[in-house]
Amino acid sequence: MDPLAEKTKNALREAAQDVLVTALHLFRDEKDEEGWFGRTGGAVCFADDEGNPLYVAVISNSCVPECISKYVELCQEKALRLGSLEWQNSSWESRKPQKDWWGGAVRIERMIYSFSGLPELGDEAVMLVSSILTAKNKEQALLRKLQAEAIAEKSSNPYFELLLNRVFQPIFD
């Protein structure tokens, strides 16, 4: 039996898609100082606490097939790596660019949310905000927000707070 119901998969994918679109509008600019210009999507992986993928989806409008396969591979690698490091809550903590190990996966409430397709701290911000968006109620959202803030602080994520405020300001006021 599939551990994630179809309704849950759809909610996770739709949340990631909505947050991704918001992030692209917020951070993509012509100067491309941060590596956002030309980014259109990527791949998302939702995994159990040990990093075993439960659901992988492509969220893209115009990525070339070579990019898609790389993004799918990277988002799963991030989740598996984070799952093997139970004392860490972000793949940013174990990043090693020389090994092609990047940030972009986060552990929130014993589930791993992983994305690849943006600059790595953009990947992380999209997953942190998506985890909050998929909360079942306000109390769970507030708990996830606290966890996300701690992760973003540890990685000095410049995108998280701006993205959070754009997506959630009415909820947390």
Domain boundaries, the chain: 6-166
Q: For the beta carbon of residue 93, count every other beta carbon within 10 angstroms.
A: 15
- Three-state DSSP class for residue 49: coil
Q: Whole-angstrom Cα distance, residue 28 to residue 116? A: 16
Fold (topology level) of 6-166: Beta-Lactamase (3.30.450)
pLDDT tens digit string along 110-155?
999 999 999 999 999 999 999 999 999 999 999 999 999 999 999 9
pLDDT tens digit string along 30-68?
566 778 888 889 999 999 999 999 999 999 766 777 788
Token reading at 77: 């690698």
